[in-house]
Amino acid sequence: MKLFLTITKKKLAIIFCIVVMIFMGSIWVSSLKVSLPDGSTHAKRMVYISGLGLDVDEESCTSKETQIPEKFSDVYLNYNKLQKKGGFDLSEFKGDGVTVYSYPVKNSDKILTLIVCDGQIIGGDVAETKIGGKMTEIRKY
């Protein structure tokens, strides 16, 4: 039994277009993952914070080195839900070392936290410092 497949120029052009669209789509999707805000320097973090509409006390900034856990506890799962509201996703950084920067927000009882990995802001929040205070997400852009 012989099987013949006839491909016309039109069909070949359509197949080529589909392959190109799939390729371009995969490039676009992969670029979304790396388009995180630049937090590599104090000045760049301050530009980002200014874009959030916050005025923070730069002089009172603290930082600490930590690691995103490989396996998320319920606390981390809930915190990551908050991150996702802002366009971030910490699950992409499981096991990675990060620096956590904390900035008191001027004229309020709030703290801004930025989580930075390899010079990119990968998450953060704004939290009230009072007992039972509310925590809100920050925006990725």
pLDDT digits (tens, 9 = 90+) for 78-111: 999 999 999 999 999 999 999 999 999 999 999 9
Task: Give tens-digit pLDDT for 120-130.
Answer: 999 999 999 99
Distance from C-alpha of 36 to C-alpha of 17, rounded to nearest angstrom = 30
- Please state the rounded mean pLDDT for residues 20-30: 66
Q: Which residues of 84-107 are buried (b: 16+ CB within 10 A; e: fewer)?
A: eebebebeebeeeebeebbbbbee
> Which DSSP letter does residue 58 get?
G
How far is it, in rounded angstroms, from Cα 35 to Cα 10? 37
Tell me the mean pLDDT in the region 42-64.
96
In the prediction, which pLDDT does 8 show? 81
Output the pTM of the full model: 0.76
Mean of pLDDT over the chain: 89
